[in-house]
Amino acid sequence: MNDAGMKSQFDVDALRRKVSDQSAIEAPQDGQSVLNPFALQIANQFRAENTSPSLLIGQIRLLEFLSIVALNLLAAVTLMPGNGAGLLVHLAIAVIGAVTTVLALQVADGYQIPMLRIASRSRRRLVVAWAIGFAASAAALYFVEEQALSVLAYTFWFSGACLFLLGERQLISSGIRHWARNGTMERRAVIIGGGEPAKQLVRALEQQPDNDIRICGIFDDRGSGRSPPVVAGYPKLGTFAELVEFARLARVDMLIIALPASAEERILQLLRKLWVLPVDIRLAAHANHLRFRPRSYSHVGAVPMFDIFDKPLRDWDSVAKRSFDIVFSLMSLAVIWPVMVAAAIAVKTTSKGPVFFVQKRHGFNNEVIDVLKFRSMYTELADPTAKKAVTKNDPRVTPVGRFLRKSSIDELPQLFNVLSGSLSLVGPRPHSIHAQTGDRRYVDVVESYFARHRVKPGVTGWAQINGLRGELDSDEKIRMRTAYDLQYIENWSLLFDLKILFLTPIRLLNVENAY
């Protein structure tokens, strides 16, 4: 059994390596498949944003922590004798009680969706956890106060906070049931492959108690003879090629491949098309007769899955990155606004036309976004499509524009894109939707090119820090830039972002390829 477990893990890793090998990728080109009207209708039903259960649980945990801190502080201010410790000491005591309560709830599984969905399931655990946290706060308060609180005061403190927490859990329970009904809180999944394996998978998922998986549909290349148009009540929406377009239109969280693990070549062909999408990709293992070690699997409920690819920047990572973007963008604008005002005046007074130039570029998940720049070309010579890259001594560029481009000041308005959410401060640089090198589009040069779009594009990026600024006039340059971008995605962290951000002004001193 151990050998089987090792073989399973090795096979999944080997499959992932094969797919990640750029020379093996057959990534779909933009506009390769058009969805049929029915699939398009279904995709539009799932375009609204949803909240993952893990993110919601984190928010509830934070809410209860802050609530308990506030309740403990209120009790300290209103009930303490008045000649004891100061406010900072009471704040520390309040935090001790809140941390202890939240940890006790975590240990008691008080932050599991089944517990949160039905308030009566968690009442006893909540009261016990708060009793532990209250005891920690009361004990700390006893040692710092010169005069102990009365029994009545302690009773009022414990009971008041307990009633608040029970009421809060009741509201959360109602909210979760409502969000589950309207689709706000769910994980959206697409089943890949039809027939009996898909039917078994659907039945296994539906049997999970408190299931948060919403099956959006089924995709399969096979005809109706081998793969019926409806599987376990879910329609077949199209082929594997159409799935890529569907997953870009709909807010899909997970792709589940319902094929036997022995069909490695067919799975590999699928993954070559699908890995460019910003979703979790899982291989269902419920129908396999082999039994592997538990660590070989992850689970959706009790249904075992092999993890092939994980969505980058998921849940709290995305929250942390968004917070990073907002904080550092506002700080940057507070420092460089005089430079931006001076650049705007220079652009406006030295040539006819608008101050800003708006260009359509590829954003997250291949969505088309409008990116702001200071205008650096003569208006009548501007090329919004960017089919013809700017070259050295390009006559289309104004004298002021040439300076703005060399210094990258022309990119500063993109900080407003960051604040609006279409860009990140750090990430793969967004390219024009028609950008090309010579007479070939980038995707024709690098087949894994669209994998760059699994995260938001950035104002600056790892490729730029490594000298790949400016014109991409050769196949090698676009291959290298894509390789650096994929390396950034695979190794992302806030410290990595911070490193790139602080290296950017230093590397901008190299203007060799900026014109």
Torsions phi, psi of 31, nearest 5? Answer: 75, 20
Q: Which segments of 222-269 are extended strands (E)?
A: 230-231, 234-238, 254-257
Domain boundary among 250, 276, 309: 309
Query: Which pLDDT score, from 0 to 100, does residue 7 have?
Result: 40
Clarify whether residues 286 and 351 are in a common domain: no
Q: Would you say residue 25 lies in a domain?
A: yes
Q: Would you say residue 494 lies in a domain?
A: yes
Q: Would you say residue 514 lies in a domain?
A: no
Q: Would you say residue 422 lies in a domain?
A: yes
Asked whether the beta carbons of 11 and 264 are under 8 A apart, the reply is: yes
Asked whether the beta carbons of 324 and 337 are under 8 A apart, the reply is: no
CATH of the domain at 251: 3.40.50.20
Mean pLDDT in runs of 10 for the chain (515 residues)? 39 57 44 73 83 84 94 81 66 91 92 85 91 90 72 88 93 86 80 84 80 84 72 85 86 86 77 85 69 59 81 86 94 94 93 90 88 88 71 83 87 94 93 74 75 91 82 76 90 93 82 55
Q: Would you say residue 438 lies in a domain?
A: yes
Clarify whether residues 326 and 389 are in a common domain: yes
The residue segments making up the domain with residue 14 are 2-50+186-309
Asked whether the beta carbons of 284 and 253 are under 8 A apart, the reply is: no
Rounded to whole angstroms, the Cα distance separating 297 from 285 reads 8
Clarify whether residues 200 and 262 are in a common domain: yes
Clarify whether residues 237 and 338 are in a common domain: no
Rounded to whole angstroms, the Cα distance separating 256 from 287 reads 13
**DSSP notation for 414-439:** HHHHHHHTSSEEESSPP-BTT-EETT
Rounded to whole angstroms, the Cα distance separating 74 from 87 reads 11
Rounded to whole angstroms, the Cα distance separating 63 from 169 reads 11
Clarify whether residues 256 and 154 are in a common domain: no
Query: Which pLDDT score, from 0 to 100, does residue 381 have?
Result: 79
State the CB neighbour count (10 A cutoff) for residue 510.
10
**DSSP notation for 39-54:** HHHHHHHT-S--B-HH
Clarify whether residues 23 and 76 are in a common domain: no
Query: Which pLDDT score, from 0 to 100, does residue 9 have?
Result: 43
Rounded to whole angstroms, the Cα distance separating 142 from 188 reads 51
Domain boundary among 309, 335, 364: 309
Query: Which pLDDT score, from 0 to 100, does residue 457 have?
Result: 93
Q: Is 257 helix (H, G, I), strand (E, B) or coil?
A: strand
Clarify whether residues 222 and 84 are in a common domain: no
Q: Would you say residue 503 lies in a domain?
A: yes
What is the tally of structural domains in the chain?
3
Clarify whether residues 362 and 471 are in a common domain: yes
Q: Would you say residue 377 lies in a domain?
A: yes
Query: Which pLDDT score, from 0 to 100, does residue 14 have?
Result: 59
Q: Would you say residue 515 lies in a domain?
A: no
Rounded to whole angstroms, the Cα distance separating 287 from 454 reads 30
Nearest C-alpha neighbor of 234 from the set 266, 256, 260: 256
Clarify whether residues 396 and 347 are in a common domain: yes
Clarify whether residues 450 and 328 are in a common domain: yes
CA distances from 406 to 110, 116, 225, 344, 392 (A): 56, 55, 61, 16, 11
CA distances from 376 to 80, 264, 390, 432 (A): 66, 51, 11, 16
Rounded to whole angstroms, the Cα distance separating 436 from 386 reads 8
Domain boundary among 277, 294, 309: 309
Clarify whether residues 173 and 223 are in a common domain: no
Clarify whether residues 442 and 320 are in a common domain: yes
Query: Which pLDDT score, from 0 to 100, does residue 28 have?
Result: 43
